[in-house]
Amino acid sequence: MPLTATEVKEAKPQEKPRKLADGGGLYLLVQPNGAKYWRYKYRYGGKEKTLALGVYPEVSLKSARQKHLAARDKLAQGTDPGEVRKVEKLTRHLAAAESFEAVAREWFNQTMPEKSESYRMRTGRILDKDLYPVLGNRPVAAITAPELLATLRRIEGRGAYDMAHRAKQTAGQIFRYAVATGRAERDPSGDLKGALKPKRQKKHHAALTNPAEVGRLLVAMDGFEGTPTVKTALLLSPLLFQRPGEIRAMEWAEINWEAEQWEIPAEKMKMRQPHIVPLCSQALDLLRELHPLTGRGRFVFPSPRGASRCLSENGVRTALRTIGYDNDTMTPHGFRATARTILDEVLGYRVDWIEHQLAHAVKDANGRAYNRTAHLEGRAKMMQGWADYLDNLKAQAMAGNVITATFR
C-alpha cells in the first residue's frame, strides 16, 4: 500500500532504522533519532543501488514521488540516475569554482600577502561591498562589459567616482587572472575605457615649505596643550617625516636605543621593504619623556580607547587643527613635503639621501635598489642637521626674525 501524508508525518522512530515502502522502490527511512530520509532503491548493470531524494519534511511525500518518477524515467532510458546526480553535482562544483567570487578569492590570496595592510583592506572592501553582491555568483567567463559597467554605475550612483575607478581596476586584475588560469577568455574591463565619470582631481597634501612659516608652525606646536601621547606624535612628525600611519603605529620594540634608530619592519612599510630612521637627539629626548607613560605597552602612541591599538589617523590631524592649521594649510603627511623641499633646496643635502629617508624607491647607478643601511651614517648626520635647523627656525620665529642657515 502506498504511504499517506499522515503516515509519513506520524512515523515514529524505533531502536533500529526502519523503512516505510511507498512502492516502486521508493521508501521513507526513519532513523532512531527521528530523522526521516527519502530513498529510491533500484538496480542498474546488475547491481543494487540507492539514490537519496531528500529529507522530510523539507521534501514532502508529493515531491519525493516526483523525484522518484524522474529517476525511474532516466532508468527506463538506460541511464543510471545515481551517475546523473554525480555529474550534476560535479557541474555545480565546477561552476562554483569558476564563479567571479571564487576566482577573486583565489586571486586575492595569491597576490595580497605582499601588499600593505591598508591596500589589502581597501581591496577587500571593494570586493565585499561592491563586486561580490552583484557579480559574485556569475561565471567569470560569462560576465560582459555592459554587465560590469552596470555594476560600476551603482558605485557612481552614490557619488563614489574614485571608488568606481578602483573597482574597475580590481575587477580587471581578477579577469586577467581568470584568463591566465584558463577560466576566462578575455578581460571585459578593457572595453570600458572612458565609460566612467572622471576621477575627482587629486588633492595634494597641504604643506608649508617657506622656512618662516615652518618656524611659526613649530612655535604653535610647542604650545599645543593636548595629551602627552598626541603632543609627542605631533612633535616627532616634522623630525622624522615618515608617513603618518607609520609614525602612529610605532612600537617600542622597534626603537633601537643603542644604535639610536627606529627600525621599521617590511610588513608595515608601503614599499614592503624594511626601513631605518636615524633618531636625532631631539627625537630621542621626546621618546624618553614618553616612555614612562606608554613604555609598558606595545605602541609608542596607544589609542585612548585601549592600548591594544595605536593612535587613530585623526590624532595629529586634529592637533594641527586645534593650533589653527586646517587641511588646506598643513596636514600630517605634509611634513614629508616640508622636509623634502627644504632639505634639498635650502640645506642642500643629497637628493638620494632625502629620498631614501622618505622611504621612496631609490636605485644606485646600476639600477639596483639600495638596501636599508645604505648611506646610513650620512643620513644620520642629515637627520640631526635637520632637527637642529628646525630648532633654529623655531627660536628665530619666537624672536620675530627668521633666518635660514645650513646645519651640516
Q: What is the pLDDT along the chain (408 residues), one digit of tens a residue?
A: 899 999 999 999 999 999 999 999 999 999 999 999 999 999 988 899 999 999 999 999 999 999 999 999 988 888 888 888 887 776 566 556 789 999 999 999 988 887 777 788 899 999 999 999 999 999 999 999 999 999 999 999 988 888 999 999 999 999 999 999 888 899 999 999 999 988 765 555 677 888 999 999 999 999 999 899 999 999 999 999 999 999 999 999 999 999 999 998 888 887 677 889 999 999 999 999 999 999 999 999 999 888 889 999 889 999 999 999 988 889 898 999 899 999 999 888 888 889 888 888 655 444 444 455 678 899 999 999 999 999 999 999 988 754 444 455
Q: What is the pLDDT of residue 359?
A: 83
Which residues have a Cβ under 8 Å from the Cβ of 132 and sit 6 or more positions away?
100, 101, 104
Domain covering 99-192, topology: DNA polymerase; domain 1 (1.10.150)
Tally of residues, the chain: 408
CATH 1.10.443.10 domain range(s) in the chain: 211-400
CA distances from 86 to 25, 71, 81, 97 (A): 20, 13, 9, 16
Domain covering 211-400, topology: hpI Integrase; Chain A (1.10.443)
Q: Is 22 helix (H, G, I), strand (E, B) or coil?
A: strand
Q: Is 57 helix (H, G, I), strand (E, B) or coil?
A: coil
Q: What is the pLDDT of residue 291?
A: 95
Active-site entry in 85, 132, 370, 375:
370
Could you confirm whether 193 is annotated as catalytic? no
Active-site entry in 168, 336, 379, 394:
336
Rg of the chain (C-alpha set): 33
263 pairs with which residues across the strands?
276
Domain covering 5-85, topology: Double Stranded RNA Binding Domain (3.30.160)
CATH 3.30.160.390 domain range(s) in the chain: 5-85
CATH 1.10.150.130 domain range(s) in the chain: 99-192
Strands (E), 100-229: none
CB 100 within 8 A of CB 136: yes
Spatial distance between the Cα atoms of 382 and 386, rounded to a whole number of angstroms:
6
Torsion angle of C-alpha atoms 329, 332, 335, 337, degrees rounded to 10: -70
Which residues have a Cβ under 8 Å from the Cβ of 59 and sit 6 or more positions away?
38, 53, 67
228 torsion bin: left (phi>0), alpha (psi -120 to 50), beta (else): alpha
Could you confirm whether 43 is annotated as catalytic? no
Could you confirm whether 165 is annotated as catalytic? no
Average pLDDT taken over every residue of the chain: 88
Could you confirm whether 336 is annotated as catalytic? yes
Could you confirm whether 333 is annotated as catalytic? yes
Spatial distance between the Cα atoms of 253 and 248, rounded to a whole number of angstroms:
14
Q: What is the pLDDT of residue 120?
A: 87
Count CB-CB contacts under 10 A for residue 105: 15
Assign 3-state DSSP to the chain and report helix, strand, coil percentages, each to 5. 55, 15, 35
Q: What is the pLDDT of residue 90?
A: 66
Amino acid identity, residue 7? E
39 pairs with which residues across the strands?
27, 52
In the block, residue with C-alpha cell 531502536: 15
Q: What is the pLDDT of residue 402?
A: 45
Q: What is the pLDDT of residue 404?
A: 46
Active-site entry in 248, 317, 333, 379:
333
Main-chain dihedrals φ then ψ at residue 329, nearest 5 degrees: -110, -50
In the block, residue with C-alpha cell 620665529: 397
Spatial distance between the Cα atoms of 197 and 165, rounded to a whole number of angstroms:
9
Active-site entry in 18, 270, 291, 350:
270
Q: What is the pLDDT of residue 406?
A: 46
Spatial distance between the Cα atoms of 183 and 187, rounded to a whole number of angstroms:
11
Q: What is the pLDDT of residue 169?
A: 95
Burial of 206 (0-12, 13-18, 19+ CB in 10 A): middle
Which residues have a Cβ under 8 Å from the Cβ of 166 and sit 6 or more positions away?
122, 126
Could you confirm whether 243 is annotated as catalytic? yes
Active-site entry in 243, 248, 317, 356:
243
Active-site entry in 19, 129, 158, 360:
360
Q: What is the pLDDT of residue 310?
A: 92
In the block, residue with C-alpha cell 606624535: 233
